[in-house]
A = this chain, B = another copy of it.
Amino acid sequence: MIGNKTLAVPGPTNLPPRVARAMAVPLEDHRAPDMGEFIVPLLQDLKKIFRTETGHVLVFPGSGSGGWEAALRNTLREGDRVLGASFGQFSMLWVEMCCQLRLNVTNIDCRWGEATPVDAYRRALEDDKSHAIKAVLVCQNETATGVTSDVAAIRAILDDLGHPALLFVDGVSSIASIEFDMDGWGVDVAVAGSQKGFMMPTGLAIVGVSAKCMQLIAARSLRRGDTDIGYGYWDFAAMLNANKSGYFPYTPAMTLMRGLRESTDMLLEEGLNNVFDRHFRLAEGVRRAVAAWGLRPCAIDPATVSDTVTAILVPEGSDANDVIKAAYRRYGVSLGGGLGAVAGKVFRIGHLGWLNETMVLQALGGAELAMCDAGLAFAPGSGVGAAISYFNAQKPANLLAAE
């Protein structure tokens, strides 16, 4: 393959040169006397990204799935009831993990392309007079279908009903890319990964934990005889305790921590609201392109389309995998494939992280080349042109200021 590859999957995202440089460091002793001077402010700044003042952010060497597990292991006991919904590959897998860890899951099966079913959640919580439900799962951004759920609405229900269940959010492909407000929404555990909005390599599970959650964990330890589901590696309390002075219960992935420092700086420098606006703008460009191609997104309700990934339905009779394969093999463009129930039916364009207009145009151009090869009927250039026209018509203030 000659020339740069184009990464248009919904994570890993493109690696900013600044972050690459920040990680190009000699290895270091994580027990160095001055390590706290680096770690403590980093963890503090991560709280700004999660928008929490009362909670904590913990960073584990691991992948986002580890964050899912951390949420469950630290707070629940075997047999505890959990409310979840399956409307895509990742929301489904989290529910499956609950089953595997022998939690008692109330799973609401939805059509893939729907969002977290707010009304169904309300009904389930209303019915739960005994407060048997200990935790409610929300996948804020279902990466497989490009659908964003309304976390605030779930919080409102819980508040409305006075239901004490913990609120767990899978924010892997949303946090640091689209609006997320941990304190405002009363999220108890929020799971992010380094390879999405944080613009980093995979390897860190970044987990927000509320004060309420930590209190519950502290109380739990008093009744250790109970059959909890064992926390081990993902132990929030041990991590938080070691973090206080800037250290860790076991060897941290220091190289990635150096990258995380840089990417956190970059997010705060740009300003979270500007980050969110940029993601909306770039996503909207992609959506205009999709419409110009005569295709439609997998998301059923237009109000739920995701600003970090667009899953695009190919016409009946076409195989989305033909597009994906041609894009990868011929043009070096990595598009996201359809997973599980939508395999072969959708291809996905990720648009999150370190991204700007021309990078989106490159991905769209690559998709058009591949769509030609796969025999899809559309006017070459129409998608790119629609995105250009949108970008031209809707210039943000900071772009205009860049004279």
Contacts and interface: CB of A to CB of B under 8 A. Distances in A.
Which of A26, A27, A66, A227 has the most B CB atoms < 10 Å from its CB?
A27
A215 interface: no
So how many copies of this chain end up in the complex?
Answer: 4
Contacts of A211: none
B369 A380 contact: no
A347 to B, nearest CB: 12
Interface residues of A, number: 107
Interface string A360-403: 01111110110011000001111111101101100000010011
A72 to B, nearest CB: 8
A13 interface: yes
Contacts of A359: 3-4, 362
A32 B101 contact: no
Q: Which of A69, A358, A385 has the most CB of B within 10 A?
A: A358
A377 to B, nearest CB: 13
A100 B231 contact: yes
Interface string A184-214: 0000000001010000011100000000000
B203 A253 contact: yes
Given A26-B15, A33-B325, A250 B64 contact: yes
Given A381-B386, A392-B373, A202 B254 contact: yes
A63 B251 contact: yes
A63 B61 CA distance: 6
Contact of A24 (B17, B252, B332, B364): B17
9 contacts: A3-B14, A11-B251, A33-B324, A203-B256, A330-B399, A331-B356, A357-B365, A358-B365, A361-B365
